[in-house]
Structure 1
Amino acid sequence: MNYEAVLHIPLSNYAHGIDEENVVFRIRTARDDIKSCILHYGDRACRVNPVIFNSEPMKVVAQDELYDYYEVVLHSPYTRICYYFELSDGVESKYYYYDMFMNTLPIERSEFYQLPFNRREDIATIPSWVQDAVVYNIFPDSFATAKGYISNKKGEAKFSHHTTYSMRGGTLKGIKENIPYFLDLGVNCIYMNPIFVAGEWHKYDLIGYYNIDPCFGTNEDFKELVDACHDNDIRVIIDGVFNHCGWHFFAFEDVLEKGEASKYKDWFYGLKYPVEYPDSQEDIPTYDCFAYERKMPKMNTSNEEVIEYFLDVCKYWTESYGIDGWRLDVASEVDDTFWREFRKTAKSINPDCFIIGEVWESAQHWLLGDQFDSSMNYDMRKNCRDFFAVDTLDSYGFDSRVTAMLMRYNKNIVHGQLNLLDSHDVPRFLSICQEDMKRFKLSVIFQMTFLGVPMVFYGDEKGLVGIKEHEYRRPMSWDKEEGAEIYSFYQDIIKLRRNKDTLKYGDYKTIMAERNSGVYAFKRCHDDEETYVILNRSEESIAIDNVIGDTNYNIDLSSNEDCKMVEPWGFVIVSKSC
């Protein structure tokens, strides 16, 4: 038995409640090492000694290159559980508890693993509407000036004594007038990059938090947009920028004017006096900022006045305008206490408010139920890039990464991960695919059928490309003929996603992922139906029956009309009864 590979962490993604009656237990072992794994569990407040234990066999639910992951979802009559594992490799058997391998069980119940209390307050959940969502991400300045139209003209507007700028001419009215476009595409949630008053066209250097940038419109325009979206069953998520502000935010201007005498000096991080604007981008600012971006001084979100100010901002937009969620910028650089308070505030107004953190790396720390509901899943983009776009992974390696994504988080949380191929911060994925539409489609199929919430960056459905910032934030294409084929493909896969309960709610299991292979297949299971997805990133056809071992299925979507084979660089999605 490979002892070194065995891992279990209490009160983590390895042991957590998914509701008040069901608890997930996981244990990691070396790949293909353990022949059986049994969970033994009992009431840690049991009235008799020794504790009376029950047993449940565990199953391998996922594998990566090094490990097997055993799991059981325990329907438990106990809210307080002590437990241990019994492992066998076919030669020897061991009890595993308290991170020790033993031949006997302990006398004291406290020596077992413990789930002290399956408290409802500690269960990480996501809003019920989220699993039905397909999100459309809009970069406001680049999307639309009016229905089916973007002016692509620079502009400027006045706010107080400041000038704000636009690059492409997009407006909130333009977004509202294109609600029929969202309905035709099939998306039912929009997420907009920042819309509050700011200097630059990207609007991440905020001047004011209570007003819509006048280049985009007015607060009333925003209210009309949200109401119109809700009338059409479309949710609205906005961008919250609380890690930093802009040069011309009132508090920072006061610090620049008054220095150490400013009553706002503790609102900011790392001030060195005299605080001055750097003359150029190359000069090191005399204050902490986002990265080394001199126009974005970092806020001190542990300061009570800053907390109060931003929580009021949260209340204002969540309550007065009825938004459905927040995407939180640079979330990993803001202190946890602030995010916990932010969550409480948003959820107290709208319990179904969807809170998404911008975290590019593992977001496990923030997804335990007390901060965010979701994070932007850049890992999914990276994995799709390496497997579908640039061929640096075989299907075996790709599946190992998929397993890592699934096992990293609590079982509920993976259904809320925001799965993206593109955003305003990265080159267009179609460009990464060297504009090879077959590679791109395979990536989109995976995105739309994987666990989590798919997010489409505006224009992906029209085949927009771009490597540099000004290119991938290019104006939206409103030419109906341009990208018509890929648009139709997006309509089909979004419709399938939204109509299939298996794809929205189902469990995930890998079916085929072999070394030196480009064929990747998995299934999603829910109630009495199974949906199989076969992705063929190779130069050879493969028989569907060779993958799923059955002929009793219905074709949901396919890249070719042959119902028996998956063509090279093609895909098929089939469903059947369990």
Structure 2
Amino acid sequence: MMSVSTPNWVKDAIFYQIFPDRFARDEYDQSAGPAGMSVHFQPWNSPPTPHGFQGGNLAGIEQRLDYLSALGINAIYLNPIFASAANHRYIAHDFFEVDPLLGGNAAFDRFLTAAHNNNIRVILDGVFNHCSRGFFQFHHILEGGPHSPYLDWFHILGWPLNPYSAEGPLNYEAWWDIGSLPKFNTNTPAVREFLWSVGTYWLEKGIDGWRLDVPDEINDDEFWREFRRRCKAVNPDAYIVAELWKPAQRWLQGDQFDAQMNYLFTRAVLGYAIGRKLDQSRTTPMGYGRIKVRDGKSFADELNTLFNKMYHPEIVFAQLNMLGSHDTPRIMTLANEDTATVKLAYLCQMTVPGAPNIYYGDEIGLCGGRDPECRVTFPWDEENSWNLSLREEVQRLVALRHRLAALRRGTFEIIHADKALAVYARHYGDERVVVALNGTNKDAAFTVPSSVKPDLGEEPVGLAAGERLRAGDKVIIPARSGRVWSSEVA
């Protein structure tokens, strides 16, 4: 059997995902000179649009590192930052240059140093399946036609190319047939070397890993094996996490990716915490698809599958567990703006195996539907609009995870499940933690099984009442809430 190894630091990580154009803006940053000093940004906090820019930059993120540290964040996942003509920057025209609107390479160097000085690691979004129409080799083809020496960098199907016209076929392969996203031909050795060199270049610059965009669309395991080999040669602790929405055993055997963005977990939480109140019209048109409504027993079974059956334990501990992302409606919107539901979801996220990932602004209750609504700006100047109760609970849960090693590294065991409740235990050395979740609208109770040893004290999260947990006791879990007990409480 192949040995499986993932970066040890990820087990202790709390990630915060940032969409750079929308998180924070330093209006006075001149890192990239005049190119970064545009005066044509949309006003901050104006409704997000598919093509509009609101001017978030790396200097702005750097100024908010204290906010992230106070929340308990020790890792950042940045959506794409390379030079691009799109606000999402998933269509790069230069993979070695940070977008001037974000401050360019100088601003990134300063940001990365500041983040590391705050003990915050940084992973970048790697988009290696496709590029933009402005990418040099593709632009060369547009200008030189069939005479360009770069034809084999892409999948050219015929002439003329139609990169901007809706009339006639594109005549080249593009992601989802979107003309602005020409697909690389990764069968070409020069393309493979180019993409691998991007991976190693930024690791040599000091980043801590890669989140890989649609890696399954490069249907070539050996490409990703070599990507891993080269990246790990530069930094053996580099984290490689893939955007894979479905079971991913093919890629998670220890020779390609360390983990996936765990949308399987997200779906399970949505199906349990929101259940029949979930507006499926918001989920079926995008990656979530139709969400299975789950009671406590079904939810517990799914968690047991995800954390004990599907993958090697090292992969499980490295999974990126999310409640939403830049590609999904926000959790507060899906939860029908019910704070108790979102708190319950966070309680689960922070107490299961894998690295939690908080999508920027979710901790203050930002709302938003599908793209572009989920990419709103962070309302720094409107703190009165923040859901402070939610933020305080998230902060409390993050601190709890940092304090209890069992939540980060412990085994996972379902110890009780019924129509209402899902109750699980985490064990690490002598440390024990029990978590009980109630996703229903009524109080529910369970009898503590004999396997719960020793006597545990209640942690102050959610609606904690300070009771002790002993085998044989009957314990009540209030409606739409959860409770946590640990051996660390005196």
Tell me by how many angstroms 1:560 deviates. Answer: 2.2
- 2:304 corresponding residue in structure 1: 403
Counting only pairs closer than 5 Å after superposition, residues 66-465 of structure 1 correspond to structure 2 as 122-146=2-26, 155=41, 167-280=53-166, 284-319=169-204, 321-334=205-218, 335-391=220-276, 392-406=293-307, 407-465=309-367
Tell me by how many angstroms 1:271 deviates. Answer: 2.8
- Which 5+ residue runs of structure 1 have no aligned equivalent? 1-15, 17-121, 157-164
Tell me by how many angstroms 1:339 deviates. Answer: 1.2
Partner Cα distance (2:458, 2:261) in 1: 31
CA distances 1:8-30 after superposition (whole Å, capped 9, x unpaired): xxxxxxxx4xxxxxxxxxxxxxx
- Which 5+ residue runs of structure 2 have no aligned equivalent? 30-36, 43-50, 277-292, 468-475
Aligned AA (1:326): W
Partner Cα distance (2:169, 2:19) in 1: 30
Partner Cα distance (1:551, 1:315) in 2: 48
- 1:88 corresponding residue in structure 2: none
- 2:423 corresponding residue in structure 1: 521
- Is residue 468 of structure 2 the alignment partner of residue 566 of structure 1? no
- 1:19 corresponding residue in structure 2: none
- Is residue 354 of structure 2 the alignment partner of residue 470 of structure 1? no
Aligned AA (1:494): V
- 1:13 corresponding residue in structure 2: none
Question: Higher mean Cα deviation, 475-484 or 128-137?
Answer: 475-484
Partner Cα distance (2:100, 2:397) in 1: 37
Counterpart secondary structure, 1:173: helix
CA distances 1:441-497 after superposition (whole Å, capped 9, x unpaired): 111111111111100000001100111312210001223332211111111000111
**How many residues are paired up?**
444
Partner Cα distance (1:561, 1:331) in 2: 42
- 1:33 corresponding residue in structure 2: none
Counting only pairs closer than 5 Å after superposition, residues 21-32 of structure 1 correspond to structure 2 as none
Partner Cα distance (1:489, 1:153) in 2: 38
For residues 183 and 277 of structure 1, do their structure 2 counterparts lie closer, same or farther at Cα, with a shift above 3 Å needed?
A: same
**Structure with the greater relative contact order (CA < 8 A, sep ≥ 6): 1 or 2?**
2
2:7–2:239 contact (8 Å) kept in structure 1: yes
Aligned pair partner of 2:383 in 455, 477, 480: 480
Q: Greater share of strand residues, 1 or 2? A: 1
Partner Cα distance (2:338, 2:454) in 1: 32
CA distances 1:48-99 after superposition (whole Å, capped 9, x unpaired): xxxxxxxxxxxxxxxxxxxxxxxxxxxxxxxxxxxxxxxxxxxxxxxxxxxx
Tell me by how many angstroms 1:143 deviates. Answer: 0.3
Aligned AA (1:206): A
CA distances 1:138-181 after superposition (whole Å, capped 9, x unpaired): 0000000039x9x998539xxxxxxxx86111001001111101
Counting only pairs closer than 5 Å after superposition, residues 28-43 of structure 1 correspond to structure 2 as none
- Is residue 487 of structure 2 the alignment partner of residue 576 of structure 1? yes
Partner Cα distance (1:126, 1:268) in 2: 33
Partner Cα distance (1:336, 1:283) in 2: 34
Aligned pair partner of 1:494 in 398, 403, 415: 398
For residues 154 and 532 of structure 1, do their structure 2 counterparts lie closer, same or farther at Cα, with a shift above 3 Å needed?
A: farther
TM-score between the two structures when normalised by the length of structure 1: 0.73
1:359–1:375 contact (8 Å) kept in structure 2: yes
- 2:414 corresponding residue in structure 1: 510
Partner Cα distance (2:62, 2:465) in 1: 42
TM-score between the two structures when normalised by the length of structure 2: 0.86
1:154–1:166 contact (8 Å) kept in structure 2: no
In angstroms, what is the RMSD of aligned CA positions? 2.3
Aligned AA (1:140): P
1:367–1:373 contact (8 Å) kept in structure 2: yes
- 1:98 corresponding residue in structure 2: none
Aligned AA (1:353): A
Tell me by how many angstroms 1:566 deviates. Answer: 2.1
Aligned AA (2:422): Y
Tell me by how many angstroms 1:559 deviates. Answer: 2.3
Tell me by how many angstroms 1:563 deviates. Answer: 3.4
Partner Cα distance (1:177, 1:229) in 2: 10
- 2:456 corresponding residue in structure 1: 553
Partner Cα distance (2:408, 2:421) in 1: 23
CA distances 1:338-368 after superposition (whole Å, capped 9, x unpaired): 2111111111111100001111111111111
Counterpart secondary structure, 1:146: coil
CA distances 1:251-302 after superposition (whole Å, capped 9, x unpaired): 111112222221111111253222222413x864211111122100100122
1:188–1:234 contact (8 Å) kept in structure 2: yes
Question: Higher mean Cα deviation, 417-426 or 553-562?
Answer: 553-562
Partner Cα distance (2:378, 2:197) in 1: 34
Partner Cα distance (2:132, 2:360) in 1: 26
Question: Higher mean Cα deviation, 290-299 or 475-484?
Answer: 475-484
For residues 153 and 423 of structure 1, do their structure 2 counterparts lie closer, same or farther at Cα, with a shift above 3 Å needed?
A: farther
Q: Greater share of helix residues, 1 or 2? A: 2
Partner Cα distance (1:405, 1:508) in 2: 10
For residues 575 and 376 of structure 1, do their structure 2 counterparts lie closer, same or farther at Cα, with a shift above 3 Å needed?
A: same
2:261–2:321 contact (8 Å) kept in structure 1: yes
1:195–1:212 contact (8 Å) kept in structure 2: yes
1:540–1:568 contact (8 Å) kept in structure 2: yes
